[in-house]
Amino acid sequence: MTELKLGLVGFGKIARDQHLPALERNPSMELCAIASPSSTQDALPQFQSMEAMLDAMPELQAVALCVPPAVRYQLASEALARGLHVLLEKPPGATLHEVELLSRQAEAAGVTLFATWHSRFAPAVGPAREWLTGRTVRHVDVHWKEDVRVWHPGQDWIWEPGGMGVFDPGINGLSIVTAVLDHPFVLRDARLHVPENCQTPIAADLVFQAGGDTEMHAAFDFRQTGPQLWDIHVHTDDGKLTLSAGGSQMWVDGELIFEAPEREYEGIYERFAALVADNRSDVDVTPLRLVSDAFLLGRREHVDAFIE
C-alpha cells in the first residue's frame, strides 16, 4: 500500500492527544512533518508555518489542519492551491461561506477535502442510527456540559470571535444528532450566555423544531463541575434511546445495549485514506449551519466574567 505523505498543521492539544497516535497506527498514512508557530517536538522535521513546511517538503501530498477555526480558511485555501488533499478538524471553518469556497476550490483542483466531525466516528453512533430507523421521534434532549478549565486550558482563542465558545464542544453533540436523525431541525430560539469579558458564549440553550411536533432542546455549558455530560436522549413512540459518554454508549429505556472502545481518530484517518483513494470529498456543514443560526438568532445575556 502506498502511504500518503502528510503534514500536521497546528500542534496543540488535539494534534498531540489524537492525531499523532492515530497516524502512528494507520498504515496508509506517513506523518512527515509538523508546522506550528511555537510548539516543539523532537521526532519529526518541524516548521513555524505551513508555508515554510510546504516550500521545504514538496513531496507532501496532504495536510491535516488542527488549528483554531478562525485561522483555518487561509491555510486550507493555500494547501488546496498547491494541489494537496486537506483534512479539516471540526468545526470546518469560522463561517459557512469559507467552507463553501473551500469545497468549490477542492472540486476545481481535483483533490480531496474532508471536513471531519470526530464525534460521528464514536462507536455507538452507527447502532443508534440503526435503532432509530423507522421509529417516530417525539423529542430530543442534548446535554453537552463540560468544565472548560479541564478540557480547554489556556485556549484563549475559544473566547475570541470565531472561537465559538461553548459551541466548540456543543457542535459535537449536534454533529451526532444530525448523523443519527434525518429530521430537518430548524432553530426557533437561542439564549447565549456571554461572559462580560468574552466575545463568545460560556453556555447556550437552544430550541429546534423539526416538522410536526418533534422538538429538540440543547443545553451546552462550559461551567460544569463534577460529572461531565455528553449525552443525547431521543424520545420515540417506542422507547427512549440515550447516547452517552460522547457517543460511546447506547442505552435503551435505561439498559446498556451497546458499548465499544473509542477509536474516533483511527476512523477519521481510515476515511480520509478511502476518500483520497476514491478521489472524493466529504464536506457536510449541517452542524455548523445550526451553530451559525444560533449566533444569528440568539439573544445575548451577559454573565459573570470568565477568569481562568
The three grid cell numbers given for residue 220, joined into one nine-digit string:
451546552
Are 134 and 107 in contact by the 8 Å Cβ rule? The answer is: no
Candidates 35-43, 52-60, 102-110, 237-245; binding stretch for ligand NAP (CB under 6 A): 35-43
Contact status: 285 vs ligand NAP (CB under 6 A): no
Instruction: Name which position in 98, 146, 168, 205 contacts ligand NAP (CB under 6 A).
Output: 168
- Neighbour-count burial for 62-87, b at 16+ CB within 10 Å, e otherwise: bbbbbbbbbebbebbbbbbebebbbb
CA dist 291 → 64, 129, 138, 190 (Å): 23, 22, 22, 10
Q: Min. distance of Cβ 289 from ligand NAP in angstroms?
A: 17
The three grid cell numbers given for residue 13, joined into one nine-digit string:
492539544
**Is 145 annotated as catalytic?**
no
Catalytic hit among 5, 13, 90, 145: 90
Distance CA 14, CA 16 (A): 5
Q: Min. distance of Cβ 221 from ligand NAP in angstroms?
A: 16
Binding to ligand NAP, residues 122-151 (CB under 6 A)? 151
Contact status: 79 vs ligand NAP (CB under 6 A): no
Are 121 and 96 in contact by the 8 Å Cβ rule? The answer is: no
Q: Min. distance of Cβ 120 from ligand NAP in angstroms?
A: 12
Instruction: Name which position in 35, 76, 285, 291 contacts ligand NAP (CB under 6 A).
Output: 35
Distant-in-sequence, close-in-space partners of 272: CB < 8 Å, separation ≥ 6: 4, 29, 62, 64, 85, 87, 112, 114, 116
Instruction: Name which position in 34, 63, 64, 69 contacts ligand NAP (CB under 6 A).
Output: 69
* 292 residue type, one letter: S
Q: Min. distance of Cβ 193 from ligand NAP in angstroms?
A: 20
Which residues have a catalytic role annotated?
90
Binding site for ligand NAP (CB under 6 A): 9-15, 35-39, 49-50, 66-69, 71, 89-90, 118, 151, 155, 168
